[in-house]
């Protein structure tokens, strides 16, 4: 069975574990460097990207994770996880580092503060004809994508219409929103399929 680790330093860890298992994968928590070698792929939950950066380094996970990603390990990042996978950040802290791998520029807290959180239906072709309810909480958006990055979804209504909120580049997937909180596990199932197809 495909074993997918969930980075367990902050964020909706339990919800991602449940979503992955519901979609047919074995899911384990990743808190220590030795656990990085035991997984086939990684999910990076939401949270606060600057805090996650510090915790990943404090727990000795930064280099092992960065190395596995550079070797082609599949990964999915939601919200702050998108920031952790991005090669470039706008409005980040001066000392903030990312694990990198996705040729994108993200803007932190692009939609505003906690009070500006919102939900919207998105039509994502890769997930089928039914719209996906997307929950945005202090979310980033993608300012720029490299030539090898596929845009999977954009905001469809409101003042942020057209902003990129889901991308894929080979084995790397990222969303600005939190699919783990809605009970709709199609994003996780899609990621598992990406992992299994290699």
* Residues that are catalytic: 79, 178, 180
Reduce the secondary structure of 109-172 to three states and give it as a string: CCCCCHHHCEEEEECCHHHCCCCEEEEECCCCEEEEECCCCEEEEECCCCCCCCCEEEEEECCE
Helix (H) or strand (E) holding 195: helix 186-197
Task: Provide CB contacts within 8 A for 141, sequence distance 6+.
Answer: 106, 107, 110, 111, 155, 160, 163, 164, 165, 176
């Amino acid at each position: 069975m495909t074993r997918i680790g969930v980075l367990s330093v902050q964020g909706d860890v339990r919800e991602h574990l449940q979503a992955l298992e519901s979609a047919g994968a074995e899911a384990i928590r990743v808190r220590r460097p030795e656990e990085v070698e035991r997984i086939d792929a990684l999910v990076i939950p939401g949270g606060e990207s600057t805090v996650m950066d510090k915790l990943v380094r404090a727990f000795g996970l930064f280099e092992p994770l960065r190395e596995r990603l550079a070797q082609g390990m599949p990964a999915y990042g939601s919200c702050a996880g998108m920031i952790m996978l991005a090669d470039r950040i706008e409005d980040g802290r001066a000392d903030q580092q990312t694990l990198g791998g996705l040729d994108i520029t993200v803007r932190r807290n692009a939609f505003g503060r906690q009070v500006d959180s919102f939900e919207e239906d998105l039509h994502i072709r890769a997930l089928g004809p039914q719209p996906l309810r997307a929950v945005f909480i202090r979310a980033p958006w993608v300012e720029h994508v490299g030539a090898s990055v596929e845009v999977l979804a954009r905001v469809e209504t409101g003042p942020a219409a057209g902003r990129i909120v889901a991308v894929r580049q080979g084995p790397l997937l990222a969303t600005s929103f939190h699919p783990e909180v809605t009970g709709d596990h199609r994003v996780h199932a899609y990621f598992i399929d990406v992992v299994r197809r290699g």
